[in-house]
């Protein structure tokens, strides 16, 4: 079901050297620490990593959402359609949100209003952003709900979000995101709260939308099975950094970073041959206030040596398009990026 037709290579969203810091009681928490990530038109880019690795903060900074306020500082560039989103005036940013770039979250109820019907919330997007007439907007909303697999769209439009199941709420969120035909959909753990069957249906829906509309996606999940199924490329994050990235097939067949290997060993459905209890990566993610000086993963890496503990590895490219931040692959200076 993966959208195989993706071929374009030129990035249309380019994150360069992104650093996001939160100053707190005299200390500084670096949630995103020098991330480079590009998404091409029509590409589904997956971001994997344990909880707390900076996936949400990184994706929210694209639209300057969430905790983005005067206390949070962002460095670097986020280039979209020739503009740096980190430096765009707020009025222009508001026009972009929900129109050219849309976002869906793990819990739809954080974005849906409990006091208005689905119809009221959905049609508003079209009447405000697109200047549609109400009657036309309602027809379009019903079409979009049907497109996301809702069997009785008219009945759904009349309901309040709390009257819908979690899977239905997520479909409504996706339909709302589609209202303005965004070029990029940011989906932050969109299936995490759903049971396995509904999760599968939502993944198929996203893959279908990518195939049919060519919509690019940034798909964030700690579920490697979902990422393997849906994404063209995978970026593995740990403590605010990308430790490995590659086309999905390459990353899953030849994981290079010991962290990626650890994550894969903890994903049962990706290695069904193995029996017995599930392994976990030893140790816990260090506090971002006390990130290790060398490689971020060195305190838990079974292969770490003195160099890993003292110096941060550069991003290396041992195979074309397969990049890894790990000293093990620094065979020569030539493949340092
Ligand atoms: N508003 C905030 N203020 C301070 N720290 C934050 C804030 N939001 C997130 N963080 C911290 O940033 C780090 C990354 O968080 P997050 O992006 O939510 O991780 P993930 O989505 O990968 O689970 C965590 O250590 C988290 O505690
Ligand atoms: Mg998150």
- List domains and CATH numbers for the chain: 11-100+185-275 (3.40.50.300), 109-179 (no CATH)
pLDDT for 44: 97
Which residue shows structure tokens 């593995």? 236
Q: How far is the CA of 33 from the centre of ligand 1 (A)?
A: 12
Q: Is 288 in the pocket of ligand 1 (CB under 6 A)?
A: yes
Atom of ligand 1 nearest to the CA of 20: 12
Residue pair 326/295 in contact by the 8 Å Cβ criterion: yes
Q: Is 241 in the pocket of ligand 1 (CB under 6 A)?
A: no
* CA gap 234, 326 in Å, rounded: 17
Q: Is 56 in the pocket of ligand 1 (CB under 6 A)?
A: yes
Residue 146: CB partners within 8 Å, gap ≥ 6?
Answer: 153
DSSP character string of 145-199: HHHTT-S-HHHHHHS-GGGS-HHHHHHHHHHHHHTT--SEEEEESTTTTS-HHHH
* CA gap 276, 28 in Å, rounded: 42
* CA gap 334, 263 in Å, rounded: 29
Q: Is 52 in the pocket of ligand 1 (CB under 6 A)?
A: yes
Query: What SS3 class is residue 102?
Result: strand
pLDDT for 4: 44
In order of 99, 104, 185, the CA distances from 137 in angstroms are 15, 21, 21
* CA gap 83, 236 in Å, rounded: 26
pLDDT for 337: 52
pLDDT (tens, 9 = 90+) of the chain, 337 residues, equals 554 445 545 678 999 999 999 887 778 889 999 999 999 999 999 999 999 999 999 999 998 886 555 567 889 999 998 899 999 998 999 888 888 999 998 888 888 999 999 999 999 989 987 888 999 999 999 999 998 989 999 999 999 999 999 999 999 999 999 888 899 999 999 998 888 888 899 999 999 999 998 999 999 998 999 999 999 999 999 999 999 999 999 999 999 999 999 999 988 666 545 556 666 788 888 988 888 999 999 999 999 999 999 999 999 999 999 999 999 999 755 555 5
Q: How far is the CA of 110 from the centre of ligand 2 (A)?
A: 14
Q: Is 209 in the pocket of ligand 1 (CB under 6 A)?
A: no
């Amino acid at each position: 079901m993966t959208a195989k037709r993706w071929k374009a290579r030129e990035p249309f969203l380019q994150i360069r050297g992104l650093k996001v810091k939160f100053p707190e009681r005299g200390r500084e928490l670096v949630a995103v620490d020098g991330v480079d990530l590009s998404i091409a038109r029509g590409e589904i880019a997956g971001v994997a990593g344990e909880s707390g690795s900076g996936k949400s903060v990184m994706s929210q900074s694209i639209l300057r959402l969430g905790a983005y306020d005067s206390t949070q500082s962002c460095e670097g560039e986020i280039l979209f359609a020739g503009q740096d989103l980190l430096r765009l005036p707020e009025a222009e940013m508001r026009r972009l949100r929900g129109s050219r770039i849309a976002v869906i979250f793990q819990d739809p109820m954080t974005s849906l209003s409990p006091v208005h019907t689905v119809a009221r919330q959905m049609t508003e997007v079209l009447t405000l952003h697109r200047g549609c007439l109400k009657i036309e907007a309602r027809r379009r909303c019903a079409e979009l709900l049907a497109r996301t697999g809702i069997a009785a769209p008219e009945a759904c439009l009349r309901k309040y979000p709390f009257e819908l199941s979690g899977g239905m709420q997520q479909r409504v969120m996706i339909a709302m995101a589609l209202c303005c035909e965004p070029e990029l959909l940011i989906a932050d753990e969109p299936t995490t709260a759903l049971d396995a069957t509904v999760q599968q249906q939502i993944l198929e829906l996203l893959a279908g939308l990518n195939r049919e509309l060519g919509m690019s996606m940034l798909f964030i999940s700690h579920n490697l099975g979902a990422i393997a199924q849906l994404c063209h490329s995978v970026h593995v994050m740990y403590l605010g950094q990308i430790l490995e990235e590659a086309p999905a097939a390459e990353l899953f067949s030849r994981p290079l970073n010991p962290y990626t290997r650890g994550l894969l060993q903890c994903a049962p459905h990706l290695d069904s041959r193995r029996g017995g209890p599930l392994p976990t990566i030893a140790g816990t993610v260090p506090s971002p206030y006390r990130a290790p000086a060398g490689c971020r993963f060195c305190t838990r890496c079974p292969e770490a040596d003195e160099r890993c503990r003292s110096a941060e590895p550069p991003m290396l490219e041992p195979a074309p398009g397969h990049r890894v931040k790990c000293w093990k692959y620094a065979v020569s200076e030539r493949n340092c990026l």
